[in-house]
A and B are shown apart, each in its own frame.
Chain A
Amino acid sequence: MDLAFSPEERAFRDEVREFIATHLPPDVRRKVQAGDPLVKDDYARWHRILHERGWVAPGWPVEHDGTGWGPIERHIFLEEISYGWAPRLLPFGLHMVAPVIIEFGNDEQRARYLPKIHSGEEFWCQGYSEPGAGSDLASLQTSAVREGDEYVVNGTKTWITAAQWADWIFVLARTERAPKKQDGISFILVDMKTPGVTVRPIETIDGGREINEVHLENARVPVANRVGGEGEGWNIAKFLLEHERTGTAGIAGCRQQIEALHELLAHEKIDDRRLQERVAQVEIELEALAFTELRTLAAESAGKRPGPESSILKIKGTEIQQAISELALDALGPYAEPHLAKKYFNYRKTSIYAGSNEIQKNIIAKRILKL
């Protein structure tokens, strides 16, 4: 039993750290460090830099220009991104639709879409949730009715991050009404410029506009844009859920936030014992979670498939993120720095998105405890 990273892994960490320190645009670093919102160009610039280095697609197979890293290197890379105050690239193209196209798509689709996802030329967003279908995603109602070699798509997708920047959206839509709601769903790629596709921003309680509603009204989409077979959409969605479970805990980011919190307390000369104790408790829980993540990483490295244990990382990781944002606000009192309040308000989303924490508990109960 050995906790240490190997010399090769340590050397890799140093290499990534050095690269980020010298190549991350300083203005982007400042924004990330200050917790200020990034604009599309910030992401685009960093994406291009990573693309040029060949590091933009850690999870892709090597034959599609993936980095060929194992789970530990991917983990180290993500940690260094956080420690170096670099932005995490939006996952929708790189880590969601691309793995789907690689796994379920055909050669034409791979040739058409993968290069521009890799280069960052095309941005993507995820069309899953609907006003009536959140946790119960399978109850989605967006329809894709076949007419010749086109689908006519109608419906509303909501809570879509970065739709305002996206060139494409991948949509789960019903191509058939079937007795079982999971059946009859297909996975369709839609050009955001398609007539009938409109984006409406949703203002969130932190004053931001990172999410949107996307309306599809008689949007005509080539059948060739369907990935996988008709009715295979639910399987693909499940594949994505399993696949996307990397780095959900955000441990390195939390470590950064705790450091920032310590600095805040020191800077403001806050020596309140009770507050210090609460911070210490969150720190301790963070270390427990970090080690838990390493254990799952080691298992994955030894060939075990990522599984429902990731629900632990999601639940606890988001609770800790929220706790840290709460402590910062508690430290400075009401009407404290606006960006601290905004962060606290914004972070209420973390226990809701990517599978609400209640759903995650259902998963643990069902798949680990077999209840």
Chain B
Amino acid sequence: MDFTLSPEQLLIKDSVARFAAGEHAGRDHWPTFAELGWLAIGAPDDLGGFGGPLETLLLMEQFGRGLVVSPYVSQVVLAGTILRTTGNTELLGRLVEGEDRVAVAYEEPHARYDPARVATTAVRDGDDYVLTGTKVRVLDPATAKTLIVSARTGDEITLFALPSDAPNVVHERFAAEDGYDAGNVRLNGVRAGASSIVGQPGEGLAPLELGLDHATAALCAEGLGLMSTMLEATVEYTKQRQQFGVPIGSFQALQHRMAEMFIELELARSMAYLAAMTLGEERDPLARRRGISAAKVQVAKSGRFVGQNAIQLHGGIGMSEEYKVGHYFKRMTIVERLLGDADFHLARYLAARGVAAKTEVPAGVA
């Protein structure tokens, strides 16, 4: 049993940490990411890929620590996983090189995070399909050349890869609280050839869920980084801020609060790692679902606690836009709810547990 990082993993962690600690705000860094090989994490070897969920965790934790705003989760982890699992090596290859950027449009109004609730239709017309429907909260569509869209073909769900600027694709952008690019996408009778199907017709849900699980694990890792910085900033601040003649960090009520924040962080850390390790053995979908959902529940809970208390313990300046803690808090607030909030994942965990076999006492493999 060994939790140490390999030299390669340490290298990734350190190089991402250096990037994240530098001046990165307000610019798109995709060419840099491509050059550094970070777009290839989790991709197959023959496409120049390396590593897997653990390496993604190491990168995302550092992104979280430095509040790096980037489409990495949506365009590399989510899209990349879908393309990898459906064997779409051509598009994946271009993604890894940074030549094509892919966003995923799966969520629908009233679906409340559930990827299976799809009303967008893809109706057969000769050799083509015609897609009609609305996708909401699409992550990072502005920089994407290609959109992967889920639509109903009969009773099943099929994934289609469309040019983001295809005729009858209408984008509605909105400004997100965390500085990210997000938008709704209307498909007003968009024509897609049969060759644009990602994976097999009628078999879109499983790859989409796998992608969402990988992306959720990545968000858990980002949450870890966000929480770490918020806690560190809070501890530092309370050591320096004096009131009543003493540092406020000497007050027991605050000490206990920060101890509780630390505990929450450690629990979240454990779950983020557990999520990454669960993905590494993705044989049983139910076990995977259960592990990822459990992780998101914990990270959401911990993130909320750490974030709210970080603001609280900073007092007035915690509320100012100028100070960094508020920005971390805002991103954490979004991360809590992206791709499924705690309630959604708790229900998913229950469903997976109910259907899965009764918990076995471990026979030596944790």
Q: Does A188 contact B (CB under 8 A)?
A: no
Q: How far is the CA of A294 from the CA of B271 in the complex (A)?
A: 12
Q: Does A270 contact B (CB under 8 A)?
A: no
In the complex, the answer to whether B235 meets A369 with C-beta atoms within 8 Å is yes
Provide the B1-38 mask, 1 if CB < 8 A to any CB of A, else 0: 11111100100000000000000000000000000000
On whether A4 and B346 interact (CB within 8 A), knowing A287-B274, A371-B250, the answer reads no
Least CB separation from A368: chain B residue: B262
Least CB separation from B232: chain A residue: A369
- Which residue of the partner chain, among A1, A79, A366, contacts B3 with CB atoms under 8 Å? A1
Q: How far is the CA of A26 from the CA of B231 in the complex (A)?
A: 50
In the complex, the answer to whether B259 meets A369 with C-beta atoms within 8 Å is yes
- Which of A8-16, A43-51, A110-118, A146-154 lines the interface with chain B? A8-16
Interface residues of A: mostly helix, strand, loop or mixed?
Answer: helix
- Which of B84-92, B155-163, B325-333, B357-365 lines the interface with chain A? B357-365
In the complex, the answer to whether B239 meets A371 with C-beta atoms within 8 Å is yes
Residues of chain B contacted by A64 (CB below 8 angstroms): none
Q: Does A39 contact B (CB under 8 A)?
A: no
Q: How far is the CA of A14 from the CA of B1 in the complex (A)?
A: 17
Residues of chain B contacted by A331 (CB below 8 angstroms): none
Residues of chain B contacted by A295 (CB below 8 angstroms): 3, 270, 273
Least CB separation from A83: chain B residue: B361
> How many Cβ-Cβ contacts under 8 Å join chain A to chain B?
137
Q: Does B297 contact A (CB under 8 A)?
A: yes
Q: Does B195 contact A (CB under 8 A)?
A: no
Q: Does B230 contact A (CB under 8 A)?
A: no
In the complex, the answer to whether A288 meets B346 with C-beta atoms within 8 Å is no
- Which of A156-164, A210-218, A273-281 lines the interface with chain B? A273-281
Q: How far is the CA of A293 from the CA of B238 in the complex (A)?
A: 29
Q: How far is the CA of A190 from the CA of B57 in the complex (A)?
A: 55
Least CB separation from A82: chain B residue: B361
B293 nearest CB across to chain A (Å): 9
Residues of chain B contacted by A291 (CB below 8 angstroms): 270-271, 273-274, 366
In the complex, the answer to whether B359 meets A259 with C-beta atoms within 8 Å is yes
B216 nearest CB across to chain A (Å): 14
Provide the B262-278 mask, 1 if CB < 8 A to any CB of A, else 0: 11001111110110010
Residues of chain B contacted by A371 (CB below 8 angstroms): 235, 238-239, 249-250, 255, 258
A203 nearest CB across to chain B (Å): 32
On whether A3 and B346 interact (CB within 8 A), knowing A312-B266, A364-B259, A371-B250, the answer reads no
Q: Does B260 contact A (CB under 8 A)?
A: yes
Q: Does B356 contact A (CB under 8 A)?
A: no
Q: How far is the CA of A315 from the CA of B259 in the complex (A)?
A: 10
Residues of chain B contacted by A1 (CB below 8 angstroms): 2-6, 9, 54, 277
Q: How far is the CA of A362 from the CA of B294 in the complex (A)?
A: 29
On whether A3 and B256 interact (CB within 8 A), knowing A14-B364, A295-B270, A364-B262, the answer reads no
Q: How far is the CA of A292 from the CA of B256 in the complex (A)?
A: 20
In the complex, the answer to whether B1 meets A13 with C-beta atoms within 8 Å is no
In the complex, the answer to whether B297 meets A298 with C-beta atoms within 8 Å is no
B22 nearest CB across to chain A (Å): 27
Least CB separation from A5: chain B residue: B364
In the complex, the answer to whether B298 meets A285 with C-beta atoms within 8 Å is yes
Residues of chain B contacted by A276 (CB below 8 angstroms): 350
Least CB separation from B231: chain A residue: A369
In the complex, the answer to whether B263 meets A284 with C-beta atoms within 8 Å is no
Q: Does B353 contact A (CB under 8 A)?
A: yes
Q: Does A167 contact B (CB under 8 A)?
A: no
B24 nearest CB across to chain A (Å): 27
Q: Does B252 contact A (CB under 8 A)?
A: yes
Q: Does A365 contact B (CB under 8 A)?
A: yes
Residues of chain B contacted by A194 (CB below 8 angstroms): none
Q: How far is the CA of A272 from the CA of B81 in the complex (A)?
A: 37
Q: Does B63 contact A (CB under 8 A)?
A: no
In the complex, the answer to whether B350 meets A312 with C-beta atoms within 8 Å is no
In the complex, the answer to whether A13 meets B366 with C-beta atoms within 8 Å is no
Q: Does B349 contact A (CB under 8 A)?
A: yes
Residues of chain A contacted by B362 (CB below 8 angstroms): 79
- Which residue of the partner chain, among A6, A255, A364, contacts B359 with CB atoms under 8 Å? A255
On whether A361 and B267 interact (CB within 8 A), knowing A301-B1, A371-B239, the answer reads no
Q: How far is the CA of A287 from the CA of B297 in the complex (A)?
A: 12
Q: How far is the CA of A42 from the CA of B267 in the complex (A)?
A: 37
Provide the A5-44 mask, 1 if CB < 8 A to any CB of B, else 0: 1100111011000000000000000000000000000000
Residues of chain A contacted by B273 (CB below 8 angstroms): 291, 295
- Which residue of the partner chain, among B259, B267, B294, B363, contacts A365 with CB atoms under 8 Å? B259
In the complex, the answer to whether B271 meets A13 with C-beta atoms within 8 Å is no
- Which residue of the partner chain, among A2, A309, A369, contacts B2 with CB atoms under 8 Å? A2
Provide the A253-292 mask, 1 if CB < 8 A to any CB of B, else 0: 0010011001000000000000011001101110111111
CB contact list, B268-313 vs A, under 8 A: 268-271, 273-274, 277, 294, 297-298
Residues of chain B contacted by A62 (CB below 8 angstroms): none
Q: How far is the CA of A253 from the CA of B254 in the complex (A)?
A: 32
Q: How far is the CA of A191 from the CA of B3 in the complex (A)?
A: 46
Q: Does A224 contact B (CB under 8 A)?
A: no
Residue of A9, A83, A312 with highest tally of chain B CB at under 10 A: A312
CB contact list, A340-371 vs B, under 8 A: 358, 360-362, 364-366, 368-371
In the complex, the answer to whether A281 meets B346 with C-beta atoms within 8 Å is yes
Residues of chain B contacted by A287 (CB below 8 angstroms): 271, 274, 294
In the complex, the answer to whether B270 meets A369 with C-beta atoms within 8 Å is no
Q: How far is the CA of A238 from the CA of B249 in the complex (A)?
A: 25
Identify 9 residue pairs between A and B in the complex whose beta-carbon atoms are under 8 Å apart, listed by A's number. A1-B4, A5-B364, A277-B346, A283-B353, A309-B266, A315-B263, A361-B255, A369-B262, A370-B239
The 3 closest A-B pairs by CB, nearest first: A10-B364, A365-B255, A291-B270
16 further contact pairs, Cβ within 8 A, besides A3-B366, A361-B260, A371-B239: A5-B1, A5-B366, A76-B364, A79-B362, A83-B361, A262-B358, A277-B346, A281-B346, A290-B366, A292-B267, A292-B270, A294-B3, A298-B2, A299-B3, A312-B266, A369-B259
Please report A residues at the B interface, Cβ cutoff 8 Å: 1-6, 9-11, 13-14, 72, 76, 79, 83, 255, 258-259, 262, 276-277, 280-281, 283-285, 287-292, 294-295, 297-299, 301-302, 309, 312, 315-316, 358, 360-362, 364-366, 368-371
